[in-house]
């Protein structure tokens, strides 16, 4: 991290070194790796780590954005900026089937919307390009069921996660051997917590989508969260009118499914401060988790990242 | 508390918290020992539990908790019942918490079946182990099993957490008895740094803070100890440089970098390095990072090095300190922890991954199996899931390695099934086996005796050992002259001369000294085959290598001659000025100063140079050889 020689590695130094080590292993062993890029803060950290891992070479793999067409405008702006960076190749995939059927979160609910755009879209994109290893930004601290997730997670040829065939991971040794058609999801920041991510973004000065910072935005209150009317496709319930509130988002996804909350935190230190003093966990803002009783486990078995 | 800074001065708080260190530890015990309660407590007390999670916890506690409506911390971390229903492998879960001083990663492994595989996996990345003992039950079989695995995996720090102290009314004698019994056992298996702490997970006593429940206990609370115990990463930085090359960074023809995570030591531009196993030598030119070149990098960092010379180096090679490179070998004694559903079959080829190197390996011999409960050794032909054995392993080509005890990343490996691609074993390298079975011995028609006979002598090795400056070479030269004058055909292998040629690539570390002596012994062996009388004049400080040399020769052919000069006398003479340099710190690993000399226990001949001059010593040696009926013509 720092340029001067340090006698002792900090926790972020060690997490960074681990993530870089993992990325290099995949670059060396996979035939056609890809980095999933969701435009959120975890993706921003992943991209930053990858640039460090392979410097001065360009990234030895493309980025893949599995688009749902319902992300925030600010996210698309950030994505296009990243795509314009020299040395970065960004692939965007939109599920043509979901597009043809006009799948959206208002008419079809978050479960079907997510399943078709994200889960099916991801499988399509991996198959289409023949990617055999995909980096994801999932962290073990996000949910109880992820605590035992491997860093290298194996998927069958039809993208199913078989909990029984996962491999023990010892020391810094990762077994990346697989049969033709099988693929690996790799999580280089498994051991990072939300606080680590924010601290790292702060120290390394990593650009993130402005939606993480508090600003006045037009929102309506739904299911305990504040939903932003981000574009003209927003549908209001009877009696609902958007009002300007100072809000920010802790996690970003499709705007109709991402709950913001009122906040004054408009700098990174203030975000970290608010998070440290917060009394609710990060996932609360993800409506996807509330939508049905299904656990992450089930989603994972079906191929959701 | 710096936590107060969060609200009052977040910038100051962040500045402090950037410098946090990271401790990884493993908890060993079963749910019944209060393990989940303990981890739940640590998460709760370090405020890693949010209100929505707490609300879920409270409702779960009322529904299924075991604490009569009180919060059941075990529910925070116990996904096990649900896992069983879903048919998910029960294995290692990783949890995270942080205090003002450190971030912690806890590897939590269930204590039931599959325990060995899971615990070994969790232990492989841990700096410390918390071994739980129920105060009411004391040291059990499982305690011994956990401790053996902790010791096997090289974890240096152990916390003995004596739990449920509230259920024995915080009786000091109960605690003391457990600590004493455990201490005896721990000493047997080589665990040294043990801190015993009486706790109660339920009430949180001695976990986050010292409890008043046991005023007789004067040691630290668990968290305080975890915050201050030293971390192995720092220790690794003290060893010789090891950089397993993961990826060759070649953006264009003008740049060729070698990327990897430093597994030992430190590196600076200008350092001499050696690529193992090829042995090619170069100098570090730059340590390249995106944020600018570094002046130094240490163990644990992921870096990219460029070298001054265009030498052959690729994924799987190890960039090492030139003066202290790792051994390279293709046959090893190892410990295997079997993790596959299918049993180990000696002779079947498996993939072996060590660092970034992938080779083919076969187990040639299972020496014995270790019972993890009793530590008893038993003979076996096969190895099954969760069994541990000491084996001989043969690879299809040499790899660079260090013993696991010296460097976990250079000596810890996995075996991969070539059909299923499953990771089926964890392995620990102990040492290289000297004889390589893929070198086939040529049948020799003219015998060694025949060669010696035409010279009218009997082949022999006169092995002079002793401190630097003891007088070995002086005496050996005189002996050789006398033998020559008697018409004997001799040859002299002198330590300094051999190091200029045959062993030019070796330094003075223990490993290099061992290799140096091995080479000399092998050369001496070839020369006795030629019928010569070989005079070997080497410090040869270690008994084991002199024993190795002795065993290479025919019975009665090896004469160990101890040139016994006290260090004070050798240093006073200091013929080559080496002691002076060593004392000044200019020479490292100098025998007698900072590297040990193990005197022979039963030398054939012992010469005390403070009582006898060189000429008398030589005469005595030659006379003794005649007395041994050594070459009837003498």
Helix H, strand E, coil C: the string for B532-581 is CEEEEECCCCCHHHHHHHHHHCCCCCEEEEEEECCHHHHHHHCCCCHHHH
Residue A15: other Cβ atoms inside 10 A: 27
Verify that B512 and B417 share a domain, yes or no: no
Q: What percent of chain B has pLDDT over 70?
A: 88
Chain B residue numbers touching A17 (CB-CB < 8 A) = 261, 300-302
Asked if B45 reaches chain A (Cβ–Cβ under 8 Å), the answer is no
Asked if B206 reaches chain A (Cβ–Cβ under 8 Å), the answer is no
Residue A241: other Cβ atoms inside 10 A: 8
**Residue B67 pLDDT:** 59
| Helix, strand or coil, per DSSP, at residue B187 | helix
Structure-token pair, residue B45? 């007390």
Burial of A83 (0-12, 13-18, 19+ CB in 10 A): middle
B344: CATH: 2.40.30.10
- Residue B516 covered by a domain: yes
pLDDT band at A109 (very low <50, low <70, confident <90, very high): confident
CB distance B416–A5 less than 8 Å?
Answer: no
Chain A residue numbers touching B99 (CB-CB < 8 A) = none
Task: Report CA-CA distances (Å) from B191 to B116, B154, B177, B405.
Answer: 18, 9, 18, 13
Highest mean pLDDT among A126-140, B426-440, B572-586: A126-140
CB distance B288–A55 less than 8 Å?
Answer: yes
DSSP B341-405: SSPB-TT--EEEEETTEEEEEEEEEEEEEE-TTT--EE--S-B-TT-EEEEEEEEEEEEEE--TT
pLDDT band at B631 (very low <50, low <70, confident <90, very high): very low
Verify that B308 and B333 share a domain, yes or no: no
- Residue B632 covered by a domain: no
Highest mean pLDDT among B202-211, B423-432, B515-524, B549-558: B423-432
Query: Cα B552 to the chain's mean position, in Å?
Result: 27
The domain boundary, picked from B200, B230, B260, lies at B230
CB-CB contact of A125 with A94 (8 Å):
no
Report domain extents, chain A: 11-196+294-302, 209-291
What is the domain range of residue B105?
4-230
pLDDT top residue among B352 and B501? B352
Kindly name the residue from B61, B147, B540, B595 that is annotated as catalytic.
Answer: B540
Q: Half-sphere exposure of A160 toward its Cβ, with a 13 Å CA cutoff?
A: 6
Q: How many CB pairs under 8 A join A and B?
A: 201
The domain boundary, picked from B382, B403, B432, lies at B432
Instruction: List the single residue in B with minimal CA-CA distance to A177.
Output: B421
Asked if B292 reaches chain A (Cβ–Cβ under 8 Å), the answer is yes
Minimal Cα–Cα distance from A37 to chain B, Å?
21
Question: Cα separation of B451 and B449, whole Å?
Answer: 5
Q: What percent of chain A has pLDDT over 90?
A: 51
Q: Which architecture characterizes domain A11-196+294-302 according to CATH? A: 3-Layer(aba) Sandwich (3.40)
Best mutation site among A2, A11, A87, A169 for testing chain B: the one with the most B CBs within 10 Å? Answer: A11
pLDDT top residue among A295 and B451? B451
Pairing of strands B460-465, B558-564: parallel
**Residue A297 pLDDT:** 42
Find residues 195-224 of chain A whose CB sits inside 8 Å of chain B: 195-196, 199, 202-203
pLDDT in tens, A243-271: 999 999 988 999 998 889 889 999 998 88
Locus of tokens 């089926």: B424
Q: Where are the alpha helices (DSSP H) in B78-221?
A: 80-86, 115-123, 141-152, 172-188
Q: What is the mean pLDDT of residues B66-78?
A: 60
Verify that B118 and B139 share a domain, yes or no: yes
**Residue B76 pLDDT:** 60
What does residue B396 show for φ and ψ, rounded to 5 degrees? -80, -10
**Residue B35 pLDDT:** 77
Q: What is the mean pLDDT of residues A181-191?
A: 92
Evaluate if residue A7 carries a pLDDT over 80.
no
Give ipTM to 2 decimals: 0.87
On the question of a cis peptide bond just before residue B277, with omega within 30 degrees of 0, the verdict is yes
C-alpha closest to that of B248 among A283, A37, A56, A65 = A56
Q: What is the mean pLDDT of residues A34-46?
A: 95
pLDDT band at B263 (very low <50, low <70, confident <90, very high): very high
Asked if B212 reaches chain A (Cβ–Cβ under 8 Å), the answer is no
Question: Cα separation of A123 and A172, whole Å?
Answer: 29
Name which of A32-46, A91-105, A221-235, B558-572 the model is least confident about. Answer: A221-235
Best mutation site among A27, A132, A148 for testing chain B: the one with the most B CBs within 10 Å? Answer: A148
Find residues 146-205 of chain A whose CB sits inside 8 Å of chain B: 147-148, 163-173, 175, 177-179, 190-191, 193, 195-196, 199, 202-203
pLDDT band at B551 (very low <50, low <70, confident <90, very high): confident
pLDDT band at B423 (very low <50, low <70, confident <90, very high): very high
Name which of A255-264, B11-20, B431-440 the model is least confident about. Answer: B431-440
Verify that B44 and B159 share a domain, yes or no: yes
- CB contact set of B413 (below 8 Å; sequence gap of 6+): A173, B334, B352, B353, B354, B426, B427, B428, B429
pLDDT in tens, B277-332: 888 899 999 999 998 999 999 999 999 999 999 998 999 999 999 999 998 888 99
pLDDT band at B112 (very low <50, low <70, confident <90, very high): low
**Residue B510 pLDDT:** 73
Verify that B559 and B613 share a domain, yes or no: yes
CB distance A164–B297 less than 8 Å?
Answer: no
Asked about B540 being catalytic, the answer comes back as yes
pLDDT band at B59 (very low <50, low <70, confident <90, very high): low
Verify that B249 and B305 share a domain, yes or no: yes
For chain B, the farthest-separated pair of C-alpha atoms sits apart, in whole angstroms, at 99
Minimal Cα–Cα distance from A16 to chain B, Å?
8
Evaluate if residue A6 carries a pLDDT over 50.
no
Verify that B205 and B275 share a domain, yes or no: no
Strand order in the sheet with A63-67: A90-94, A63-67, A33-36, A133-135, A183-186, A152-155
Beta partners for A247?
A215, A262
Question: Cα separation of A106 and A287, whole Å?
Answer: 13
| Helix, strand or coil, per DSSP, at residue A124 | helix
CB distance A269–B10 less than 8 Å?
Answer: yes
Verify that B35 and B132 share a domain, yes or no: yes
Evaluate if residue B600 carries a pLDDT over 80.
yes
Question: Cα separation of B234 and B222, whole Å?
Answer: 22
C-alpha closest to that of B182 among B205, B200, B168, B161 = B161
B120: CATH: 3.40.50.300
Verify that B136 and B8 share a domain, yes or no: yes
Chain B residue numbers touching A146 (CB-CB < 8 A) = none
Which of B291, B416, B423 lies at the smallest CB-CB distance from A3?
Answer: B291
**Residue B586 pLDDT:** 82
Find residues 401-440 of chain B whose CB sits inside 8 Å of chain A: 408-409, 412-414, 416, 421-423, 426
Number of H helices and E strands in chain A, helices first, is 10, 10
- CB contact set of B243 (below 8 Å; sequence gap of 6+): B258, B260, B261, B262, B263, B267, B303, B305, B318, B319, B320
Q: What is the mean pLDDT of residues B572-587?
A: 85
pLDDT top residue among B3 and B545? B545
Instruction: Produce one character per residue of B574-593: b if its CB has 16 or more CB atoms within 10 Å, e if not.
Output: eeeebbeebeeeebebbbbb
Dihedral angle over CA of A46, A49, A50, A56, nearest 10? 160
The domain boundary, picked from B321, B337, B367, lies at B321
Evaluate if residue B5 carries a pLDDT over 80.
no
Name which of B6-20, B37-51, B541-555 the model is least confident about. Answer: B37-51
Q: What percent of chain B has pLDDT over 90?
A: 40
**Residue B447 pLDDT:** 77
Chain A residue numbers touching B50 (CB-CB < 8 A) = 278-281
Verify that B510 and B609 share a domain, yes or no: yes
pLDDT band at B371 (very low <50, low <70, confident <90, very high): confident
Best mutation site among B6, B18, B54, B248 for testing chain A: the one with the most A CBs within 10 Å? Answer: B18
Verify that B393 and B536 share a domain, yes or no: no
- Residue B634 covered by a domain: no
Question: Cα separation of B634 and B632, whole Å?
Answer: 6
C-alpha closest to that of A65 among A129, A125, A5 = A125
pLDDT in tens, B233-259: 677 888 899 999 999 999 998 999 999
Structure-token pair, residue B267? 């590196």
Tell me which H or E stretch contains B36: helix B35-45
Evaluate if residue B628 carries a pLDDT over 70.
no
Verify that B426 and B333 share a domain, yes or no: yes
The domain total for chain B is 4
CB distance A269–B11 less than 8 Å?
Answer: yes
Question: Cα separation of B39 and B59, whole Å?
Answer: 19
pLDDT in tens, A72-103: 999 999 999 999 998 899 999 999 998 999 98
Minimal Cα–Cα distance from A92 to chain B, Å?
25
**Residue B141 pLDDT:** 83
- CB contact set of B306 (below 8 Å; sequence gap of 6+): B255, B256, B257, B258, B284, B285, B286, B288
């Amino acid at each position: 991290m720092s340029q001067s020689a340090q006698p002792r590695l900090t926790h972020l130094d060690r997490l960074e070194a681990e993530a870089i080590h993992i990325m290099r292993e995949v670059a060396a062993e996979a035939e056609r790796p890809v980095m999933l890029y969701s435009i959120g803060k975890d993706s921003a950290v992943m991209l930053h780590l990858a640039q460090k891992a392979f410097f001065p070479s360009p990234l030895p793999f493309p980025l893949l954005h599995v688009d749902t067409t319902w992300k925030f405008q600010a996210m698309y702006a950030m994505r296009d900026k990243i795509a314009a960076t020299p040395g970065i190749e960004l692939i965007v995939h939109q599920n043509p089937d979901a597009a043809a059927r006009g799948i959206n979160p208002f008419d079809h609910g978050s479960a079907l919307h997510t399943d078709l755009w994200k889960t099916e879209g991801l499988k399509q994109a991996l198959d289409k390009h023949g990617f055999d290893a995909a980096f994801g930004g999932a962290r073990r601290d996000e949910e109880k069921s992820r605590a035992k997730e491997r860093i290298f997670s194996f998927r069958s040829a039809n993208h199913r996660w078989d909990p029984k065939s996962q491999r023990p991971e010892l020391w810094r040794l990762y077994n990346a051997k697989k049969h033709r058609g099988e693929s690996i999801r790799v999580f280089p920041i498994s051991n990072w917590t939300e606080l680590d991510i924010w601290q790292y973004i702060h120290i390394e000065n990593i650009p993130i989508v402005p939606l993480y910072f508090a600003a006045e935005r037009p929102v309506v209150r739904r299911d305990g969260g504040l939903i932003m009317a981000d574009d003209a496709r927003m549908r209001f319930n009877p009696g609902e009118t958007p009002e300007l509130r100072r809000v920010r988002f802790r996690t970003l996804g499709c705007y109709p499914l991402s709950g913001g909350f009122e906040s004054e935190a408009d700098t990174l230190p203030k975000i970290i401060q608010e998070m440290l003093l917060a009394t609710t966990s990060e996932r609360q803002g993800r409506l996807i988790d509330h939508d049905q009783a299904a656990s992450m486990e089930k989603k994972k078995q079906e191929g959701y990242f | 508390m710096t936590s107060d800074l969060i609200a009052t001065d977040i910038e100051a708080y962040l500045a402090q918290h950037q410098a946090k260190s990271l401790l990884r530890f493993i908890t060993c015990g079963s749910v019944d020992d209060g393990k989940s309660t303990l981890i739940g407590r640590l998460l709760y007390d370090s405020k890693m539990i949010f209100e929505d999670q707490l609300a879920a916890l409270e409702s779960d506690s009322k529904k299924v908790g075991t604490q009569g409506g009180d919060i059941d911390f075990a529910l925070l971390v116990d996904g096990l019942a649900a896992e069983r229903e879903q048919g998910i492998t029960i294995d290692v879960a990783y949890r995270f918490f942080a205090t003002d001083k450190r971030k912690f990663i806890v590897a939590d492994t269930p204590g039931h079946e599959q325990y060995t595989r899971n615990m070994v996996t969790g232990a492989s990345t841990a700096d410390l182990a918390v071994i739980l003992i129920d105060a009411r039950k004391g040291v059990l079989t499982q305690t011994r099993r956990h401790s053996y695995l902790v010791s096997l995996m090289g974890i240096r720090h152990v916390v003995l957490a004596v739990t449920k102290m509230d259920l024995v009314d915080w009786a000091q004698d109960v605690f003391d008895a457990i600590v004493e019994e455990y201490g005896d056992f721990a000493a047997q298996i080589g665990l040294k740094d043990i801190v015993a702490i009486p706790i109660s997970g339920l009430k949180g006593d001695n976990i986050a803070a010292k409890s008043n429940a046991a005023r007789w206990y004067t040691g630290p609370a668990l968290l305080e100890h975890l915050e201050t115990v030293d971390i192995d990463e720092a220790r690794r930085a003290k060893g010789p440089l090891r950089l397993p090359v993961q990826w060759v960074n070649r953006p264009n023809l003008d740049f060729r970098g070698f990327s990897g995570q430093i597994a030992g030591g430190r590196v600076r531009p200008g350092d001499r390095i050696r690529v193992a196993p090829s042995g090619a030598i170069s100098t570090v030119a730059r340590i390249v990072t995106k944020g600018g070149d570094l002046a130094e990098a240490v163990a644990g960092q992921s870096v990219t090095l460029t070298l001054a010379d265009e030498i052959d180096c690729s994924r799987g090679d190890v960039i090492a300190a030139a003066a202290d490179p790792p051994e390279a070998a293709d046959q090893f004694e190892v410990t295997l922890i079997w993790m596959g559903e299918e049993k180990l079959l000696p002779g079947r080829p498996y993939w072996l991954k060590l660092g970034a190197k992938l080779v083919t390996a076969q187990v040639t011999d299972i020496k014995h199996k270790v019972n993890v409960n009793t530590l008893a050794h038993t003979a076996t032909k096969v190895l099954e899931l969760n069994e541990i054995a000491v084996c001989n392993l043969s690879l299809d080509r040499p790899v660079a390695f260090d013993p696991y005890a010296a460097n976990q990343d250079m000596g810890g490996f996995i075996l991969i099934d070539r059909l299923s691609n499953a990771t089926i074993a964890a392995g620990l390298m102990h040492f290289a086996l000297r004889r390589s079975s893929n070198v086939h011995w040529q049948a020799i028609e003219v015998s060694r005796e025949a060669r010696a006979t035409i010279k009218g002598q009997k082949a022999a090795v006169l092995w002079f050992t002793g401190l630097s400056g003891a007088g070995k070479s002086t005496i050996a030269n005189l002996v050789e002259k006398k033998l020559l004058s008697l018409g004997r055909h001799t040859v002299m292998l002198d330590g300094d001369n051999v190091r200029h040629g045959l062993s030019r690539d070796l330094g003075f570390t223990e490993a290099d000294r061992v290799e140096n002596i091995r080479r000399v012994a092998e050369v001496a062996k070839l020369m006795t085959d030629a019928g010569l009388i070989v005079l070997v004049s080497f410090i040869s400080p270690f008994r084991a290598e002199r024993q190795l040399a002795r065993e290479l020769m025919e019975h009665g052919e090896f004469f160990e001659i101890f040139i016994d000069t006290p260090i004070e006398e050798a240093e006073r003479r200091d013929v080559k000025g080496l002691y002076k340099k060593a004392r000044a710190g200019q020479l490292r690993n100098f025998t007698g100063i900072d590297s040990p000399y193990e005197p022979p226990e039963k030398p054939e001949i012992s010469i005390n140079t403070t009582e006898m001059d060189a000429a008398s010593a030589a005469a005595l040696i030659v006379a003794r050889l005649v007395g041994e009926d050594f070459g009837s013509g003498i």
